[in-house]
A = this chain, B = another copy of it.
C-alpha cells in the first residue's frame, strides 16, 4: 500500500508517518521509485505499536526507538527477554540506587536478580520515596509484593513459551504498557471503597 493508505489504515497522518520514518520508529517501505514506497501489514502493526507506546505508555521518542530496536533483534532466552522488556519500560532515573536499599530488598526475601532492570527500578522508586520523606515499612513492602505477585500471575502466561522471541517481547512490553494504568486505576477504586467503609459513616 502507499503511504496515504497506511495513513488511512492506522488513522495516523502522513506527516507523522514521515516523522516516524525519519526517527527510525518505522522501517522503510519497499522502494517503488524515487518518490514512492510500498508498505504492508507489518507497517500497520508497527504504527499501532508506536501509537500505543506514545499515547498510553507516554514513552519518549527515544524510548520507543529502543523498543522497536529490541523487537527487531530480540534475545533468545524467555527470561532475558523479560529483562529487555522491563529495561525499555523503565523511566530513566538519576544514577544507581544506594547499596542500603538493595540490601533491604534482599533482606526482605524479594528476589534481587543481581541488578536486573526490575530490581533496579524498585530500588530507585524506594529511594525516591524515601528522599521525598515517604519511607515504606518492611511490612507494607512485603504485603505489596504478595499482592503484585497475584497481579503478575496473569502476566506470565504459559503461552509465552510457544511464542517467537519477537512475539513474546511484544507481548511483555505491550501487556505492561496497556495494563499498568488498569492496575493503578484499580488501586484508586480500592482506596475509594476502603475510604467509604472506614470514613463515610463519620462524615455524613
**A140 / chain B contacts, CB cutoff of 8 Å:** 154
A184→B195 contact, CB < 8 A: no
Choose one: B113, B179, B193; the contact of A149 (CB below 8 Å).
Answer: B193
Interface size class of A (residues with CB under 8 A): 35 or more
Nearest B residue (CB) for A154: B140
Q: Among residues 158 to 197 in chain A, which have CB atoms less than 8 Å away from a CB atom of chain B?
A: 158, 160-161, 172, 174-176, 178-196
Q: Is there a chain B Cβ closer than 8 Å to A30's Cβ?
A: no
B174→A134 contact, CB < 8 A: yes
Nearest B residue (CB) for A139: B154
**A147 / chain B contacts, CB cutoff of 8 Å:** 147-148, 150-151, 186
B122→A186 contact, CB < 8 A: yes
A89 to B172, CA, bound (A): 26
Choose one: B151, B158, B191, B202; the contact of A144 (CB below 8 Å).
Answer: B151
B203→A132 contact, CB < 8 A: no
Choose one: B79, B124, B151, B195; the contact of A190 (CB below 8 Å).
Answer: B151
* With known contacts A140-B154, A183-B184, A128–B199 Cβ distance under 8 A: no
SS of A interface (majority): helix
A187→B194 contact, CB < 8 A: no
Known: A78-B203, A79-B203, A143-B154. 17 other contacts (CB 8 A): A78-B199, A82-B191, A110-B189, A118-B188, A118-B192, A125-B181, A125-B182, A126-B182, A134-B175, A143-B153, A147-B147, A148-B187, A148-B190, A152-B193, A152-B194, A160-B199, A183-B184
6 A–B pairs (Cβ distance < 8 Å), ordered by A: A78-B199, A113-B192, A132-B178, A140-B154, A148-B151, A148-B183
- Considering the complex of A and B, which 4 residue pairs feature the smallest CB-CB distances, nearest first? A118-B188, A152-B190, A122-B185, A125-B181
